[in-house]
Amino acid sequence: MKYNEICHFSHPQHSLKFEYSEDPFTCDGCKEPGIGSRYKCSGGGGACNYDLHTHCAVPSASIAHPFYTKCSFQFLTRPAGQVARFCNACQKDVAGFVYHCKSCGFDLHPCCAKLPMLLHDGDIKLYLYKKVAASCHRCGRKGRSWSYRSSCKKYNFHVACVKEMLVESWQEIYYGAWGSTYTHTHAGATSLSATLAKHNHRRQRGKKGKARKCCEVAALALQFVISAVLGDPTTLIAGAIGALLSK
């Protein structure tokens, strides 16, 4: 076994090899989208096409979270009980690997459970909040799900909204409708970028230079939120998404 390979209980047929790719994928553990770092099946001649987020490939048996100080989340391979479950971070369905608090009944997708409390690229700081009184740039609503908000308090993104935009065209990739492995990320990022542009146009009407600058900053902030939501909050992935935003 090589140092960058693991044996995983969810895929005993072959070992999984760590790799980095800007191609999007669906995690076979949590069933959520991903990009960047992953563990991929290294056997079967590529026929398995089995991928795991790093958070799903090497999970913690139990975790605590600062938003739920009285909870102890245990790692489960499938949702607890017989009723439909949803993630308390993004409000999306839980369909696979999950962190579950038995006493409170709360659930967190592995990537949501590991969302950084601070995203910081040197110029922009985005803090993760359980609830924000400000409206989301995407849906215009308050509350709803966890949010990333900039330190200047001008930019606010629901984790749920970012996920929605990324997944909207997810299945179209596999049907070959658009013919690009970047389609779902590009579509989501472009749509959100357009939303930001409209938002800042309303706020800065008559001040084109300032509106453009605000949109550029918001788009940069968005890159890092998308990266975190996809399970790889790195500068490399943010840069790749930035390239998509500029097309």
- The end-to-end CA distance of the chain, in Å, is 41
**Side chain identity at 210, as an amino acid letter?**
K
**Angle, CA of 186, 206 and 139, to the nearest 5°:** 40
Give tens-digit pLDDT for 178-237: 334 333 334 434 444 444 444 444 444 444 555 455 556 666 677 777 777 878 776 555
Least confident of 16-25, 27-36, 86-95, 120-129: 120-129
Does position 33 have pLDDT exceeding 80, yes or no? yes
**Better-predicted residue by pLDDT, 12 or 230:** 12
Mean pLDDT of all residues in 55-69: 96
Parallel, antiparallel or unpaired: strands 118-120 and 125-129: antiparallel
Residue 234 vs residue 174, higher pLDDT: 234
- pTM of the entire structure? 0.77
What pLDDT score does 172 carry? 45
Facing residues of 147 across strands?
Answer: 129, 158
- The CATH class that applies to domain 62-113 reads alpha beta
CATH T-level assignment (fold) for domain 5-57: Wheat Germ Agglutinin (Isolectin 2); domain 1 (3.30.60)
Number of CB atoms found within 10 A of residue 123's CB? 8
* 62-113 and 5-57 share a CATH fold: yes
Residue 136 DSSP code:
P
**Nearest by Cα to 241 from 168, 162, 125, 176:** 162
Angle CA 36–229–204, to nearest 5 = 115
Q: What is the pLDDT of residue 167?
A: 61
pLDDT tens profile 122-171: 667 889 999 888 898 888 888 778 999 988 888 888 998 887 776 654 44
Burial of 231 (0-12, 13-18, 19+ CB in 10 A): buried
Parse the chain into domains and list their residue ranges.
5-57, 62-113, 118-245
Tally Cβ neighbours within 10 Å of residue 102.
12
**Whether 186 contacts 244, CB under 8 Å:** yes
Which of 46-55, 60-69, 186-195, 202-211 is least confident? 186-195
Which tens digits make up the pLDDT trace of 79-137?
A: 998 889 999 999 999 999 999 999 999 999 999 999 989 887 666 788 999 988 889 88
What pLDDT does 62 receive?
A: 97
